[in-house]
Amino acid sequence: VDAEAAETYLRVLAETQLRHFRAPGFPNWDGIRELRYVGVALAALGVLDMSVAEDIAAELDAVVQVRVRRSGAGPARPVFSVPPTAPSAPSPAGQVLRLGDGPGAPRLRLLSVTRTRRQTEITVAGRVGRQWTGQGFHHAVRDLSAVDDAGSAFTVQHSGGSSDGLLTLVPSVPAGARWVEIGAPGQHVGLDLVVTALRDAGQLPPDSAAAGLPEPWTSVLGYFSAPRPAGSLGIAPVAIALPEIDGVRFALTGLSTEAEQTTLRVQAWGLPPRLAASPAAFPGLLPWFPWWARDSTGQWHVTADHGSSSHGGRSALTLRMVPPVSRSVTSLELIIAGLVSRLRVTLPLAWQENT
Amino acid sequence: VTGDADGPWWAALPPAETAIPCGRGQHVIGWAAGALTGSSHPDLEAERILSALGGGPPAECVQVTGMWQHLSGDLDVLAFGPRHAADQITVAWDNVEALRADYASRRRGRRRTVATGRTSRGGSYVVRAGPGPPTRQEADVWMRRLELMTLLALGPALQVRLAGTVAAAWSDPGQAAARAAHRPRLAAALTGRLTPAVQTWLGADAGPVTATVHEGDGWGSVERASASAGLRVGLPLDWLARVWACGLAVVDGHLVVAVQAARWPRARVLALPRPGAELVTFTVRAGPQPAQSPLAQAWRRE
C-alpha cells in the first residue's frame, strides 16, 4: 500500500461514512471515530502521514457539521477549529534506563509513550538510591538524546520532578518512524513506536511480536486494495458462551452481514462499572478489544466498536467486523486477548437468508 | 464511442436564482450560462472597484460574487457540497453571521502567560494559555471555510452549480498535472457522487463502487468482475460537471456516462443500460417544472 493508495482509501472511506450518516440502518453512527481508528492504523503502518489522516477525519467532522446546521444554531466548532492533534492513549513502555554506574545510580523507568501530531512524550519515573554519591538526578537527565530508525536525532527535554517527570522529544518524531532509541552516556533503550501506535489505536493483534506484526494487518489492508463485498444479506445464528477471560464472560449472540459491513452481537458480564457511566467510550478503551478473527479463507478481520448498552451488570455490544465477512466463509477463528489470558474459539457459520 | 461533448459544461442547466440579505433588504443573486450575477445590482464590478478604492465595505451581493470567483476552483467545494438529491445542506444566513463573528473573535485571540521557569538544561521557558491568534495558514483555511459556508447558504440550486463549476475547472486539459497531484481527493469526490447514482441505477445491493478519474481518450469504463464484486468505474472528471451537476446521472434506468450535446431543456446522452452492455445514445428532455436542485431534475427520455 503506497501513500496515495492509503490516502485514497481513507478519503473514500470518509465518503462511505458520510453516506451512512443519518441513513437508515446506522442508528449509532460514529463514522468520524471509525475513520480516525483506521487513519491511526495506516499511519502506524507507515503508509500514511498522520497529519493527512487527521486532516481527513477533521474534514469529515466539518462536512457532517455543515449538514446538521440549522438556523439559530451557534457557530459550529469544527468549521473553524484547528484540526485536533490526534491524541493517542498512552501505552506502556516499561524499559529502564540507567543514568550512571555504581550503587544506587539514578534510573529512569519509561512508563508510557504518548504520541501526538506535534510531539512524542514519555512519562517517566526516576529513582536514586541512597548509596549514590555521584551528581544529582537532574544533572543526569541533562545528557539524554534520541535517534529514530531513519537516523534523525532529537533532543530530549526532561520536565517535572525526579519521580514524576516527562521526557519530550524535540522536534516531533515523524509519523512514519518505527522505533526510537533513548540514550544516556553508556546506555540506551529502544521503544518500538509501531507497536506503540497500534496499541494506541487499540488495534494490536494478538500473537504479534513486533517482527511478525504485519501479517493480520496486511491481510486487512490488502482486502481494501481489492475489496470484495460480503454479498447479499445473511445471518449466521451463532450462539455460544465463551469461557471466562480475566473475570469477564462473553456470549456471542449473532452474526449478520450485508454488502458493506458485518455485525457481531455480543453479551458480556463482569465488565468494569465505568461502562454504565460512559457507554459511548466503550468498548474501544477496554483491554479485551479489539477482537481479531481469521476466517476459513485466510482473511483476517478486526472488530470496531459500533454501539453498546449496559444494564444490571450485563452489557450488550455491537461490534462491526472490518472487512466484512463473506457468506462464502464457513468458519471464523476468533481471538480475544485479555490482560493475562487469551481465548481462541472456532465458530462454524451456517448462513441463512436475511430477507 | 467517445464521450466528447460540444458546448459548455452547463448547457443542460437552466438559469437559477436565490435571494440573499443585502443592505437593508433582500437582493436576488442569479446564475445563468455558467456565471453568477447580482441581478439587483446593475454594475457589480463597478461597486467592487469603488469599495476597493475606499468606498466602504462592499455590499453582500458584491462579496458573494467575489467569493464565487474565488472558490470556483477550490476542491473544498466538492468536499463539503452535496452528493445526491437527498443530501440536503441547509445553511441559514444567521449561521453565516455567527460564523463571521466567531472568525473575527478568533482573529483577535490573545494568549496569556500562566507560568515561567527554567528547564532542567538551564534554559528558560514561558507557558502561555489560550488559542491565540491563528497562524497565516489557519487564517487562510478559516477564511476559505467562511466563504464556503456563505456560498452554501445560497441554497441547493447554486450549491450544485458551484460544484459543477469546480469540477469543470479541474477537468481542463491544462490541469492534468494538478489532477495527478490530487488523485485521492478527486477519486473520493467522484466516488461519493457516483455511488448513490449506481445505487439508483442497479439497486442498493450493487456493491461497492471503486471509482477512478479516467484520463485520456474515450468516455471511460464500467466493469463488474462478478455478480457480487461491485463495480470498477473510470470516468473523466468532467462527468461531475456535465452529467452529475446537471442531474443526468441516471435517466430511464440508464447510467449516463457522457453528454454529447445539450441545450436545456434537451440533451443527447451516452448511457449504459447495465454493466457490460453496449452503450446507447438517446435524447432526454427536462420536466416542465424543474426542481430547485438540479440533482432532483426530472429528465425524461424522448
So what's the pLDDT on residue A252?
A: 87
So what's the pLDDT on residue A157?
A: 83
Q: Compare A273 and B298 and report the one with higher pLDDT.
A: B298
Q: Compare B236 and A195 and report the one with higher pLDDT.
A: B236
End-to-end CA distance of chain A: give it in Å, rounded.
Answer: 37
* Contact at CB, A14 and B145, closer than 8 angstroms: no
Cβ contact B96:B149 at 8 Å = yes
- For A227, the closest of B152, B184, B210 (CB atoms) is B210
Q: Cell 440502518 appears where?
A: A25
So what's the pLDDT on residue B25?
A: 87
So what's the pLDDT on residue A342?
A: 74
Q: Tell me the per-residue pLDDT of B112-143, one tens digit each, with 9 for 90 and over.
A: 565 566 655 566 655 555 556 777 777 887 78
Q: How far is A142 from chain B (nearest CA, A)?
A: 6
Q: In 3D, which of A82, A9, A11 has the Cα closest to residue A45?
A: A9
- For B191, the closest of A12, A62, A80 (CB atoms) is A12
Q: Cell 454501539 appears where?
A: A307
So what's the pLDDT on residue B279?
A: 97
* Contact at CB, B102 and A80, closer than 8 angstroms: yes
Evaluate the omega torsion of the peptide bond into residue A323 and state whether it is cis, within 30 degrees of 0.
Answer: yes
Q: Compare A184 and B227 and report the one with higher pLDDT.
A: A184
Complex ipTM tops 0.95:
no
In the numeric block, which cell numbers belong to residue A213? 506484526
- Asked if B224 reaches chain A (Cβ–Cβ under 8 Å), the answer is no
Share the mean pLDDT of chain B: 86
Strand bridging mode A107-115 / A91-92: antiparallel
Backbone Cα Rg of chain B: 23
Distance (Å, whole) CA A167 – CA A123: 6
- Asked if A101 reaches chain B (Cβ–Cβ under 8 Å), the answer is no
Q: Compare A111 and B145 and report the one with higher pLDDT.
A: B145
So what's the pLDDT on residue B154?
A: 95
Give the dihedral of Cα atoms B80, B83, B85, B90; nearest 10 deg: -10
Residue of B121, B195, B198, B226 to mutate when probing chain A, most A C-beta within 10 A: B121
Distance (Å, whole) CA A113 – CA A121: 6
* Contact at CB, B188 and A231, closer than 8 angstroms: no
- Chain A residues with CB-CB distance to B150 below 8 A: none
Distance (Å, whole) CA B294 – CA B159: 10
In the numeric block, which cell numbers belong to residue A216? 493480520
So what's the pLDDT on residue A293?
A: 87
Distance (Å, whole) CA A230 – CA B66: 48
- Asked if B200 reaches chain A (Cβ–Cβ under 8 Å), the answer is no
Q: In 3D, which of A28, A20, A18 has the Cα closest to residue A317?
A: A28
- Asked if A11 reaches chain B (Cβ–Cβ under 8 Å), the answer is yes
Which region among A109-113, B29-33, B63-67, B97-101 has the lowest average model confidence (pLDDT)?
Answer: A109-113
Distance (Å, whole) CA A179 – CA A44: 11
% chain B with pLDDT above 70: 85
- Asked if A345 reaches chain B (Cβ–Cβ under 8 Å), the answer is no
Q: At what angle do helices A3-20 and B183-202 cross, to 10 degrees?
A: 40
**What DSSP character marks residue B55?**
S
- Asked if B247 reaches chain A (Cβ–Cβ under 8 Å), the answer is no
CB atoms within 10 A of CB B124: 8
Q: Tell me the per-residue pLDDT of B261-297, one tens digit each, with 9 for 90 and over.
A: 999 999 999 999 999 999 999 999 998 765 567 788 7
- Chain B residues with CB-CB distance to A62 below 8 A: 80, 145
* Contact at CB, B228 and A228, closer than 8 angstroms: yes
DSSP bridge pairs for B27: B20
Give the dihedral of Cα atoms B84, B143, A58, A32; nearest 10 deg: -40
Q: Is the pLDDT of residue B248 over 80?
A: yes
Q: How far is B77 from chain A (nearest CA, A)?
A: 10
CA distances B111 to B107, B108, B224, Å, are 12, 10, 57
Cβ contact A192:A163 at 8 Å = no
User: 3-class SS at A44?
Assistant: helix
For chains A and B, what is the number of CB pairs under 8 angstroms? 108
Q: Which residues contact A171 (CB under 8 A, 6 or more apart)?
A: A119, A154
In the numeric block, which cell numbers belong to residue A260? 458493506
For chain A, give the longest Cα–Cα distance: 78
Distance (Å, whole) CA A152 – CA B43: 59
Cβ contact B156:B164 at 8 Å = no
- Asked if B94 reaches chain A (Cβ–Cβ under 8 Å), the answer is yes
Q: In 3D, which of A335, A252, A320, A333 has the Cα closest to residue A283?
A: A320
User: 3-class SS at A322?
Assistant: strand
Q: Tell me the per-residue pLDDT of B164-207, one tens digit each, with 9 for 90 and over.
A: 999 999 999 999 999 999 999 999 999 999 999 999 999 988 88
Q: How far is CA B234 from the centre of its chain?
A: 20
> Per-block average pLDDT, block size 10, for chain A (355 residues)?
81 92 80 76 68 87 81 39 36 68 82 65 78 80 78 79 75 69 73 51 38 54 56 72 83 79 83 57 59 86 74 78 84 80 84 69
CA–CA–CA angle B282, B283, B285 (5° rounding): 145
So what's the pLDDT on residue B158?
A: 95
User: 3-class SS at B126?
Assistant: strand
* Contact at CB, B92 and A79, closer than 8 angstroms: no
Q: Cell 417544472 appears where?
A: B289
Distance (Å, whole) CA B189 – CA A11: 9
Distance (Å, whole) CA B117 – CA A106: 24
So what's the pLDDT on residue A193?
A: 61
- For A19, the closest of B80, B88, B195 (CB atoms) is B195
Q: Cell 447495465 appears where?
A: B274
Residue of B88, B97, B120, B210 to mutate when probing chain A, most A C-beta within 10 A: B120
- Chain A residues with CB-CB distance to B187 below 8 A: 8, 11-12
Q: Phi then psi for B121, rounded to 5 degrees? A: -95, 5
So what's the pLDDT on residue B109?
A: 67
So what's the pLDDT on residue A192?
A: 61
- Asked if B229 reaches chain A (Cβ–Cβ under 8 Å), the answer is yes
Confidence of residue B12 (pLDDT cuts 50, 70, 90): very high
| Strand positions, DSSP E, chain B | 16-22, 25-32, 35-38, 112-118, 124-129, 209-213, 221-223, 231-235, 250-251, 254-263, 266-272, 280-286, 299-301
In the sheet that holds B266-272, the strands lie side by side as: B250-251, B254-263, B266-272, B280-286, B299-301
Q: Which residues contact B79 (CB under 8 A, 6 or more apart)?
A: A59, A63, B185, B188, B189
Confidence of residue B227 (pLDDT cuts 50, 70, 90): low
Q: Is the pLDDT of residue B5 over 80?
A: no
* Contact at CB, A69 and B90, closer than 8 angstroms: yes
Q: In 3D, which of B243, B287, B242 has the Cα closest to residue B265?
A: B287
Q: Which of residues 282-321 of A touch B (CB under 8 A)?
A: none
Distance (Å, whole) CA A289 – CA A281: 12
Evaluate the omega torsion of the peptide bond into residue A171 and state whether it is cis, within 30 degrees of 0.
Answer: yes
State the alpha helices, DSSP H only, in A143-253: 193-200, 214-225
Q: Tell me the per-residue pLDDT of A52-63, one tens digit each, with 9 for 90 and over.
A: 888 898 899 889
So what's the pLDDT on residue A73?
A: 40
* Contact at CB, B138 and A82, closer than 8 angstroms: yes
Q: Tell me the per-residue pLDDT of B34-83, one tens digit each, with 9 for 90 and over.
A: 998 877 777 777 777 766 666 667 788 888 999 999 999 999 999 999 99
Q: How far is A80 from chain B (nearest CA, A)?
A: 6
